Chain A
């Protein structure tokens, strides 16, 4: 950051997923100074954990690469990872955010050579694969990770493994004495883009998630299909590694349900339609998907994709909210019970794998945001308070697909710019 600009002209963006990155970059490319704060060790957020996007079936990493290149080439954005905003004080045009930065135990000497990873023995569940596999406790989150710097899991700080990592590093990058740090960042406007998290599937008791290995969520299925996921892209079922060629996709797993999430999560229908094509990609004519739904919400131009999948002989649609799932102890197959409501047909369908199209909830409920915002009944940010300089962006504001999240973030960038430009004009006048 150059010292010459007033702190009130800085925009603080909280959350480094696609929404936060977009808001930060769009503002920075208008010439604004931005501080981007991300709580995990890497930018990219949840989209980095998707295999493909609907409806083009293109790869999220492609857009991430462009955004990272924009970021690398733009000195207006300062990125803080492993950092969380714990408090925001002040008012529009003059905020002070308290940011807690967790120790990475690796400094910027790191060249990402991977020697520490090879030296360390401990393994931890891999959060970038939703815990479906293990990774070393010294790790680079994923191939697209930015900053491209290793991380030591706090569990090995102060252990022999920590020392192993330290002595393996030729560049003095491992620093086991790093401590949590607290920073104060001053900014004129704040964009809150902390995104979403999947609803806890275990709460949908009749579906047996957590009880049956072959009941997984849609986000986990993304990792299974991804060549860089835990199975190297093989769609196999967790119980026995058998190829999962006959898959049930269950819509509204948590969404549109007053026992769980009141709102419709918008993306799940399209996500399942997309994932049915993964099954076809993997198994050709043998790949079969059944989509159990209440309403297929393939809004606007997405209808094309729905029509395409409708014509796919490998995909069957059943209008039904599945009543319950049991897993056959011997075969490992999951049996879905319910009623096809189009004409009342009772079924007990056997599948290799059941994928719950899991609902979206805000990662940080609006009530827990350390700044005042208007919340909706699902905990999303409905809007900014009058006179406030704190704006929501992306899935923190609503259940959105990537395209809409990016639009929302671009709009949020302008709202923040309106605040900082006013500060700038006041500075000029004074």
Chain B
């Protein structure tokens, strides 16, 4: 976790490229941000568009303008559902989806990502769930999601989904026993080694910044 104030001091100067350079160096596919020509087709193509505070193209402009805190604290890039609409339409072929995830992950690593942001919570739960066994345990994943805001909220949410759960049970699409153990991938340890290695490579690439 970095120190926000200290990091912000590096990037105070507006339209100086310090934050842009930071993004280029430390954010996945961040190198592409400078290529945006502000046409806005990504913003218009996004299926979740109306829910974004800042559209991708605007985020790119904010990065160039040195608005470090505003960008990293924004929940906008957490809204990306990886539909790739923007990527296929971008006239400059920017990998916008990847950049959005890269920015979100970077903000998360810096500890400045917005709290109580549902898609961020979902992402975290999903990640923690799947790295444990190497497979996603759908039942536990769903329940962790329901109970993330407390016991009562979880029970209420679970009850509201009762009939769907029942239908899934009848259709043999839901195995209640998964809750207790669940099945794992064949080489769990291998997966963990792989993830560890990936993290090492990633932090090397990021210049060892955490």
Contacts and interface: CB of A to CB of B under 8 A. Distances in A.
Interface of A: 206, 252, 256-260, 294, 319-324, 337-341, 344, 346
A320 B93 CA distance: 17
Contacts of A321: 39-41, 44, 91
Given A294-B38, A320-B39, A321-B40, A339 B49 contact: yes
Contacts of B37: 256, 294
14 contacts: A252-B39, A256-B91, A257-B91, A294-B37, A319-B40, A321-B41, A321-B91, A322-B44, A323-B41, A323-B43, A338-B40, A341-B40, A341-B58, A346-B43
Contacts of A320: 39-40, 44
B40 A340 contact: yes
Contact of A324 (B43, B44, B50): B44
B19 to A, nearest CB: 19
Contacts of A206: 45, 89
Nearest to A323: B44
Nearest to A254: B91
Interface string B85-109: 0001101110000000000000000
A340 B91 CA distance: 17
Interface residues of B, number: 19
Contacts of B73: none
A341 B89 contact: no
Nearest to B41: A321
Interface of A, helix, strand, loop or mixed by DSSP: loop
Given A258-B91, A338-B44, 10 more contacts: A252-B39, A319-B38, A322-B41, A323-B43, A337-B44, A339-B57, A341-B38, A341-B39, A341-B43, A346-B43
B54 interface: yes
Q: Which of A257, A319, A337 has the most CB of B within 10 A?
A: A257
B71 to A, nearest CB: 14
B40 A339 contact: yes
Nearest to B85: A323
B55 interface: yes
Nearest to A348: B44
Contact of A344 (B39, B43, B92, B93): B43
Nearest to A338: B44
Contacts of B54: 344
Contacts of A258: 91-93
Nearest to A293: B39
Contacts of B49: 339, 346
A320 B42 CA distance: 10
A163 B54 CA distance: 69
A395 B36 CA distance: 29
A346 B49 CA distance: 8
B53 to A, nearest CB: 9
Nearest to A262: B91
Contacts of A338: 40-41, 43-44
B51 to A, nearest CB: 11
B157 to A, nearest CB: 30
Nearest to A341: B40
Q: Which of B40, B50, B91 has the most CB of A within 10 A?
A: B40
Contacts of A340: 40
Given A294-B37, A341-B57, A323 B89 contact: yes
B45 A324 contact: yes
Nearest to B61: A341
Contacts of B93: 258-259
B133 to A, nearest CB: 40
A391 B208 CA distance: 57
Interface string B69-94: 00000000000000000001101110
A418 B93 CA distance: 44
The 8 lowest CB-CB distance pairs between A and B, nearest first, are: A323-B44, A338-B44, A339-B43, A321-B39, A257-B91, A341-B40, A321-B41, A323-B45
A265 to B, nearest CB: 13
A209 B49 CA distance: 24
A121 B45 CA distance: 48
Interface in B14-64: 37-41, 43-45, 49-50, 54-55, 57-58
A338 B38 CA distance: 13
B169 to A, nearest CB: 40
Contacts of A257: 91
A252 B55 CA distance: 21
A257 to B, nearest CB: 4
Contacts of A256: 37, 91
A208 to B, nearest CB: 14
